[in-house]
Amino acid sequence: MMYLFRALLLCLLLGPFALECQATRYFVNASATGSATGLTWADAFTNLQEALGIVIPGDEIWVAAGQYKPTTTTTRTISFQVRNGVDLYGGFAGNETTLEERDLPANPTILNGDIGEPGSSTDNSHTVVTATNITSTVVMDGFRIVNGYSASGSTFNGGGLRVTNSLSGEFILRNCSVINNFSGSYGGGLYLASARLTIENCDFNNNQAGSGNGGAIYNGNVNGSGSILTVRDCRFRNNSARVGACLANSQSYNSVVIDRCIFTANDSENSILVLDDFESAQLLNSYVIGNTVDGFSSNVLNVNSTAADEVFTMTNCTVAHNFNVYSSTVQAPMIRFFDAYHEIRNSIIHGNTPVNGLQVSSNADVFSSLVEGGHVGGTDIIDEDPLFTESYDGAVANFDATQFDYSLSGTSPAVNNGNNAYVPAESDLDLALVPRIQAGTVDMGCYESDFTTALSTTVGSLSNWSYEPSQRALILTSTTSTGALSVFIHDVQGRLVSTATAHNGVVRLELSAGVHFATADGFNVLKFVVP
């Protein structure tokens, strides 16, 4: 440890030159057996808190697969405190020399708040990860954050993460999963206040706010300052709260942008997504499908602001097959705007629980969209079946829309019927990362169709095969062949991106997120989406 002491002393003496001269990469591996200097994988720290305790701005921490808890005691107030100017990366096997070598699914790096009796949540860490007073850009990448628990009425809002007082910097949460966290009051998965927060390619699963607000994310109040929130390429499943199963707020946002996100199988008494006061807000290229609410005035999307220049826009989104399961008469639409100046553009609204035949507030400004039941006063409105490729047709209940295909079939009236002027230049990819405005005109909804001519023909008589996201595999059930079957995977431009072989009716695949096409001798072309 003498080396670390000397390094810290030198940094103090160098002052403003310390960041450039003394940046160090520290390694953490719960299975390491070396000298625990933290300077190599062989000599890695075995405890993440040890690394966090000695880093200075400019350093970074690499953490190998394993279970890491905020404390070895039962003190619930201890969390992993992100350090200003220090990036954290997980998902390593423990021998990598570059970030690109990581295999995140194969090397789960778990920050676990279950510090008390195993399996009992009420003695868990109040908050697993804390980031406060961030004045630089800090990245947290490649972790699973699980089992935070704070009871109703406590001051420890945010079971998984708490990000506060960080407007002068930016906290970036990337390639992370926030799972099974609980707050009885605010922010089961994540609580932010007066912070600039960017969330990229993350999963929020099974987080709860109990009888409170914001099952996955809640924006609260610190010193009366609003937050800047950007959420992109994320998936929200099985979250719950009294208000805002996925998103809620009590403090205004300076800005909120949600782009290419999935909201499915979430439930709430009152609402799934709440945007209550903001300077600007956008929901883009996303879908809200398969969620349930339970109240006479409940909604899946609830928007309210305080001034006419504080406009919410929903562009190229699909809001479909969401249900209000209230046992008596429902009195509010599933998309509810409290103000007349919020806008819906290039979107599909279909199959949701209606009120007097309508699914969206009559005061909404709706343009170039497919709306079941129509929209009086709207512009270029289509009231037809959107003809999704494979949509849910089961009972009125929660369901996981990722098990279905809500892209548009070739005969859908929503294909090439949007308005190109509504497509933001900075958001020109659809939910499957396909470029927008193909064939000259943008489609309505979250997916852009391409109908690649090179792959659109039938190549066989068998069609009983499917993609299983949880297994990352194609499952073939229409073949009796015992020999190897070659399968070819193409992207939406018709380019070959992978060749694989079926074994016992299963084809294992490693593919990036997006739309893909599979072909094999004797099988029809299969279009599938990797979430």
Q: What is the DSSP string of 222-287?
A: STT--EEEEEES-EEES-EESB-SSEEESSPEEEEEEES-EEES-EESSEEEEEESBS-EEEES-E
At a CB cut-off of 8 Å and minimum separation 6, what does 482 contact? none
- Tell whether the model's pLDDT for residue 479 goes beyond 70: no
Of 346, 344, 276, nearest to 310 (Cα)?
276
What size, in residues, is the chain?
A: 531
Residue with tokens 């000298």: 35
H or E element in which residue 11 lies: helix 2-14
Structure tokens at 51: 């690394």
pLDDT band at 463 (very low <50, low <70, confident <90, very high): low
State the Cα–Cα distance between residues 192 and 173, nearest whole angstrom: 12
pLDDT at residue 130, as a whole number: 98
H or E element in which residue 5 lies: helix 2-14
pLDDT in tens, 227-269: 999 999 999 999 999 999 999 999 999 999 999 999 999 999 9
pLDDT in tens, 195-224: 999 999 999 999 999 889 999 999 998 877
> Which one has a higher pLDDT value, 491 or 92?
92
State the Cα–Cα distance between residues 40 and 488, nearest whole angstrom: 41
> Which one has a higher pLDDT value, 515 or 432?
432
What does the pLDDT average to over 111-123?
A: 94
State the Cα–Cα distance between residues 194 and 60, nearest whole angstrom: 25
> Do strands 177-179 and 144-146 pair parallel, antiparallel, or not at all (unpaired)?
parallel
pLDDT in tens, 289-311: 999 999 999 999 999 998 889 99
pLDDT at residue 208, as a whole number: 97
Of 24, 32, 177, nearest to 95 (Cα)?
32
* Adjacent-strand bridge partners of 462: 523
pLDDT band at 453 (very low <50, low <70, confident <90, very high): very low
Instruction: With beta carbons less than 8 A apart as the criterion, state whether 463 and 523 touch.
Output: yes
In this structure, which amino acid lies at residue 199?
Answer: I
pLDDT at residue 245, as a whole number: 98
At a CB cut-off of 8 Å and minimum separation 6, what does 507 contact? 473, 474, 476, 487, 500, 501, 518
pTM: 0.84
pLDDT at residue 213, as a whole number: 96
For the domain with range 453-530, which CATH number is right: 3.50.30, 1.10.3470, 2.60.40, 1.10.287?
A: 2.60.40
Count of CB atoms situated within 10 Å of the CB of 267: 19
* Helix, strand, coil share (%) of the chain residues, nearest 5: 5, 40, 55
H helices of 15-122, in order, are 18-22, 48-52
Q: Enumerate the domain spans of the chain.
A: 453-530
Structure tokens at 440: 């000259």
pLDDT at residue 521, as a whole number: 76
pLDDT at residue 457, as a whole number: 45
- Tell whether the model's pLDDT for residue 342 goes beyond 80: yes
